[in-house]
Structure 1
Amino acid sequence: MKKLVFAAGALGALVVGGLVIWPIGKVPASITQTGDVQRGAYLARVSGCISCHTNSEAGGAALAGGAGLATDFGTFFPPNLTTDKESGIGGWTVEQFAKAVRQGISPSGEPYYPAFSYPFYADFTDQDIADLWAAFQTVPPVAEAALEHDVKFPFDQRWGLKLWRAAYLYDPPTEPIDEKNAQWNRGRELVRGAAHCGACHTPRNIGGGRLLDAVFAGNEALPGGSKAPSITPNSLAERGWTVSNLAYALRTGVTPSGDAFGGSMVEVVQGNTRFLSPDDLEAMAVYLLDGDEPRADRVAQGEGAAANKDM
């Protein structure tokens, strides 16, 4: 019996050791494009970088670290993204930045927790990355490290995130659909990608993976006790949403009934969508109200392809 216990322990140690040294991600190609600061700043707004990594309520400096995000797995604190070389990303290269944004992997090769919405940014182009990088280079350095995540065992073991990635990480369906027009495809690119609407409006399983057969069906258990309603085409139409009033609401926070958005959507409007162009807001509304190809909810690409088939 002792031999069996020893053998099981040794096997377990071997498995854990293998996971710890298991390499993840790909080495990004060199980013040689010249970045456009204004376009990068716009993309940072769309993607929630500024609102997430700035603790506005506490009077924090822009991108110097955000307020804690309380989840069932622990509380996560968005890090400092200023140009400070010690506390921020001032010592990074643009390629390390690209790997972090598109793959969720730190310069040291460690996986980031999926509280960071990197799964939605995987299709950012090299030009997108160059633009973002150029914009971030204009941010004044703040020599103050963000708080450490408050995560208990076993979720504090980052090697375990490699299993999470294998099970739940997939490429976002942002590529254009030939049968659709440019406006619809732009809306799809924003909603499915940078604006990451599915991060809140899609239910998740016990492991924190999004349920791909229920995309945009709503989430009753958001961090902090908030809820996100269904934003499928049928549910939006049933509640009286149209392209014009949805685009207006994303800019102002005011609903068709004259009421205002509640919960975390207030922060989304204030920090993100109110800065979008009228064309982009309309494109998002057109996409959300028209719906998507069924296969887009189910085709899983990338690291989690096999596992996602049974989600």
Structure 2
Amino acid sequence: MTRLASVFAHRNLFSLALAGTLSVALGGCIEDMTAEEAELDPAGFFGDEEWWDAGPPAGEEAAEFDALEDLAAQTEVSLAPAFQLPFPCGQVWAGQTRTNHSPVNSVDFNRTDDVNDPVVAAAAGKVSRVANEGATSYGKWVEIDHGGGYRTRYAHLNSQSVTVGQSVSQGQKIGTVGSTGGSSGPHLHYEQRLNGTAQKPVFNGSTALFFGTKNYTSKNKCSGGGSGGVTGTVSTSGLPLTVRSTPSTSGTAVGSVANGAKVTITCQKNGTSVTGTFGTTKLWDFIGTGYVSDAYINTGSDGQVAPTCN
């Protein structure tokens, strides 16, 4: 099954899950989008479709909070951590807010073929909850305490990779996108809370759109990445992968890396289109000595995972 075929299968199941409760518009032109176009414009791909998921577990409900309407709270809000999108640098995600969401000040994130994509900490903190509600509510979820009364929640995860009490840095992987719990399809349910009260999330200093769906580009750990880059594994048919001076198949060959070798991606850039082990892409990875096509590099995530090269 092709990448977009699997996505459309998911969309059809999603629509069936909503039948009788919501009117879902799939939009005739969406099916004409390529995988690359859908990856760059997930909001356009999903169109007017409204998503659905269950709210917090019993006893975990959150009151709603709008900092712009509460002058007394603005001093506290100004001391909030510098939250970023809960995804690796450069990735584009469609974020949806809606009046029937629980809590209403939360955001659901989605993009094509996103099952098992990494979810990362929106800010540094200490893991306060790692729970599993089974087939209801949040399903598998993680909560991070950022201090000063601020906490973030990440729900419907397919997997959790942290433990309670663990300290995490901004941009550190905490789990993967899934559809556990009360969820009509793979996505990440995300909340920012202040003293137990849900507030409108802020990413890179800007408040999320309320209400509607828009694209957000992650700037999480884009300035140097904190760890010096993202690790990837070369995967070819067995032949060495050519390293080129520019992100192009016509670029001068400056070296090669063996199949199975680990490489460190310091930045990425669009260039000529290449079809390889992981599909067709224009994305190229800079690995210190030159560029290799991302079509042959496994980072555990689709799309851009490192800062854009200058």
Global fold match (TM > 0.5): no
Name the TM-score, length of structure 1 as normaliser. 0.25
Name the TM-score, length of structure 2 as normaliser. 0.25
Between structures 1 and 2, the one with greater helix share: 1
